[in-house]
Amino acid sequence: MIAGDLLRHQKVLRRNAVAMTYAGKDFTYAEMVERVNRAANAFRALGIRKEDRVALLSQNCNQYFEIYFANGKVGSVTTPLNYRLAAPEIEFIINNSEAVALIVSDDFVPMIAQIKHLLPTVRHYICIGGQHQGYVEYEELIAGSSPAEPPEAVTEDDLLWQMYTSGTTGRPKGAMITHRNLITNVVQSTMNFHAEPDDRSLIVAPVYHAAAVIVCTSTLAAGGTLLIKKDFVPPEVIKAFNEEGVTHALLVPAMILFMLNMPGIEKVNFGSLKYIIYGASAIPLEVLRRAMQVFKCKFLQGFGQTESVAVLTQLLPEDHVLDGPPEKVRRLESCGRELFGTEVRIVDEKGKDCPPGVVGEIIARGDQVMKGYWKMPEATADTLKDGWLHTGDMGTLDEEGYVYIKDRMKDMIVSGGENVYPREVEETLFSHPAVADAACIGVPSDKWGEEVKAIVVLKPDARATQEELLEFCKGKLAGYKRPRSVDFVQTLPKNPSGKVLKRELREPYWKGKTRRVN
């Protein structure tokens, strides 16, 4: 089975049902399949062939999904680009992927103009939604193309995407994802959020993000409808909940926090909402508790990374318990248990399994794990060892199989020989009523090697001093874990998934020092 089979099947079952809605226009499954085939045949006519990379720079739109599936039918490989990157970062990914075609929405043509002369492999420029010199307009391109199924023989072990890692620890790496990887993760995910033909999934998270692709593809595989929004615009999101019968929504923690802080959020009609699916970055326990009270629906958390398509473990709705026995309430601090068809272990530096409750590296294997990194054999060998994906995340496993993430290996602070996991300190700071956001890093200490520094964003109109927050942590954290200093900032640097870029926070403190900034 390949990605296109999911659409073809729904065309047979539900040809006149709405597959996706964007900017006030509905597209039925029959219309979507026809447009996908036209795009695939148009790409073939341009000379795009199997394993050619096709870079895609756009905010969410219906064409994004058409291009994904069209490349899948041709055997070419979609390389989605994070539109929040700067031009030189975009240039790196396009050149690293050796893309032969670049598809750009109208908004980003000026950005590409800055680097177009630096893209030697790109032979074809295609624009979504605008006429520009040197570009073929997407709608014109596919209008004259055949709606028939393209003739290429594509198998489940052929590449589908080349998704670049977020680059929080260095240059992004191109994770090569096959059709088998995608289909496996779609089946695994759909089992747990029970997608059905009448479901309507709100898509506001950027679709270059793997988690968004999984939610979208799972919805389509079930015959549901995608309610596509160009971006996360809070008033539009609220309107969608009130008026469009949203049943499922993928929201990263930063979006959830933003919505919870909106005036009048308690008056929004969430009556049709069945599931909120969240993940991609840590969510403070207090934020999750309030979200469950406000949205009044089922919550499903996913943990994974680009190298596993999207998901390795899930915390199911029945594990989201606010009141009950302590051992059940504590599960809210976990990221759930391994998916069907996935094995998850916690290992020490020698690769031996850690006992329950002992911190080690989270490793996993399953058919959703990537083929490898594009043209990076050493990095691939470091990450994929004997069939196991080494995630670089530190965590513990309890007796019932629940995984508790402690932190990234490279974010761990070693103070006086003791390991400090920033996430634990951050959770404590989040429980202070004045704190809106927080990150903890290790900074140089002549006495301890490293000591904990907290970088804090206060809530609007709230006040707190360094001394107050340091005192607040006493009695809640061991002495070696407590912050020794606090910096106050307006915002924390984050990648589009909402993960704090701790490398950027650490760098000023380690200039000229011996510790390598990861």
Q: What is the per-residue pLDDT for 252? A: 84
Please name the residue ranges forming H helices in 46-137: 62-74, 87-97, 109-115
Q: Is the pLDDT of residue 9 over 50?
A: yes
What pLDDT is attached to residue 166? 66
Comparing 3-154 with 418-510, is the CATH topology the same?
no
Q: pLDDT grade, residue 475 (50/70/90)?
A: confident
Asked if residue 159 lies in contact with residue 177, where contact means CB atoms within 8 angstroms, the answer is yes
pLDDT band at 421 (very low <50, low <70, confident <90, very high): confident
Q: Which residues pair with 21 in a beta bridge?
A: 26, 227
Given a cut of 90, is residue 245 above it in pLDDT? yes
Round the average pLDDT of the chain to a whole number and report it.
92
Torsion of CA 219, 302, 427, 420, to 10 degrees: -150
Domain 188-365+402-408 fold is Rossmann fold (3.40.50)
Do residues 189 and 214 make contact, with C-beta atoms less than 8 angstroms apart? yes
Q: What is the CA radius of gyration of the chain?
A: 23
What is the Cβ-side half-sphere exposure of residue 500, based on CA atoms within 13 angstroms? 22
* Whole-prediction pTM: 0.83
Question: Which whole number is the average pLDDT over 481-501?
Answer: 89
Closest of 107, 199, 216, 123 to residue 161, by C-alpha: 216
The verdict on domain 3-154 having CATH code 3.40.50.300 is: no
To the question of domain 418-510 being in CATH 3.30.300.30, the answer is yes
The domain segmentation of the chain, as residue ranges, is 3-154, 188-365+402-408, 418-510
pLDDT tens for each residue of 97-109: 999 999 999 999 9
